Structure 1
Amino acid sequence: MGCVKSSNNDNGRRVRRNRISRPAPWAHTEPITRAQLNAMRAEFWNGIPQYGGQREVWEALRAAVDAELHLAHTIIDNAGIILHAHDLTVSFDENGARYDLPLYVLSEPTNLING
């Protein structure tokens, strides 16, 4: 798959490496405040049991979203998460379960307003 890079480790075995990048700029359908954005994010993360998948993978994804980029790489690799999209919007666990993250949990909208 084009979303995962492979390289050889010191033992000559193939090792997959996920490359994470920042999501593309996005705008909410209407300007929103920081409080509204935070409420949307809380609603998403509190509702993850209904989306299926493994709780540990969801927790790793949330930690990666909140982490600096270099730490996010480590979190994703250690959790065995396979990225389909470099911006974390779509990923899979080692059993093939799909995990979709909306842009609003990944980055700030371009039309965020103070208030």
Structure 2
Amino acid sequence: MGGCVGRYWEGWDDTQSRGSSRNGGRGGRNEPLKKDRPKWKSDYPMTEGQLRSKRDEFWDTAPAFEGRKEIWDALKAAAVALECNDHELAQAIVDGASITLPHGTLTECYDELGNRYQLPVYCLAPPVNLISERSDEDPSDSPEPPVAPKKEFQLKVRLSTGKDLRLSASMADTIGQLKKQLQAQEDIDIAHQRWFFSGKLLTDKTRLQDTKIQKDFVIQVIVNPQALRAPKPSSTTTTTSE
């Protein structure tokens, strides 16, 4: 079992290439792990998800063939470390598992019992024609929602002090803008305001159109008690009796 290295570089779809083979003649040759990662091109443009699936399939099935599971685990950890550019860690893993590298790469290696292990190229480096996938969670990749036309209405706001009031707002306004308006009207510092709607905390960048608020709905504002300033004392005139 094991196949030749030449077949490995062509993709190694044969299941025999996944295993290891008994080879008592390593010749005692052991090269340090090279830093250079192999460069290869997939037969078809491959996405990051497809590459991960292909790797997972190999690592899940490799221990089922000949060889020792602890060595397969060490090779996987070394391959991950090498791809993360942590060459020292990869070398330490290889040395700690007593793995011999005749060519200084993980493409062909041996354990101390003489078993040969071969890793497919896709487990060691991504292809040059890898297709990057956009993350759905990356806000920079997602287009901003269209801004609603600026049509003002009276927004009902209920403070945690029990006071109700109305603010002039439009659906395009952000919560941060409305906080400033509340500060100007009630002298409540922005840092001491927490706005909630339907039990959800509203961030400063949230627009009213994103909250799906409708006419006559009320937004709750929790006010930090420290923000409630004491009323300023009125100035009094002291008269001096003659």
TM tier, smaller: 0.7 to 0.9
How far apart, in 1, do the equivalents of 2:38 and 2:88 lie? 19
Q: Is 1:91 paired with 2:112? A: no
- 1:20–1:73 contact (8 Å) kept in structure 2: no
How far apart, in 2, do the equivalents of 1:2 and 1:26 lie? 29
Letter in 2 for 1:114: S
Alignment of 1:37-56 (within 5 A): 37-56=51-70
Aligned residues between the structures: 103
Letter in 1 for 2:39: P
How far apart, in 1, do the equivalents of 2:103 and 2:56 lie? 23
Unaligned runs of 5+ in 2: 1-26, 134-242
Q: Which has the larger radius of gyration?
A: 2
Match among 32, 54, 70 for residue 88 of structure 2: 70
Match among 132, 141, 147 for residue 114 of structure 1: 132
1:59 aligns with 73
Cα deviations by residue, 1:35-74 (Å, 9 ceiling, x for unpaired): 0000000000000122210111111111111111111111
SS at match of 1:82: coil
How far apart, in 2, do the equivalents of 1:104 and 1:111 lie? 12
How does the TM-score come out when normalised to structure 1?
Answer: 0.81
How far apart, in 1, do the equivalents of 2:55 and 2:33 lie? 24
Give the CA RMSD over aligned residues.
1.7
Letter in 1 for 2:52: N
2:30 aligns with 4
Letter in 1 for 2:51: L
* Alpha-carbon offset, residue 105 of structure 1: 0.5
Unaligned runs of 5+ in 1: 6-17
Q: Which has the higher contact order (CA 8 A, sep 6+)?
A: 1
* Alpha-carbon offset, residue 4 of structure 1: 1.9
Aligned sequence identity (%): 40
How does the TM-score come out when normalised to structure 2?
Answer: 0.40
Q: Is 1:25 paired with 2:39? A: yes
How far apart, in 1, do the equivalents of 2:116 and 2:93 lie? 17
How far apart, in 2, do the equivalents of 1:2 and 1:59 lie? 23
1:15 aligns with none
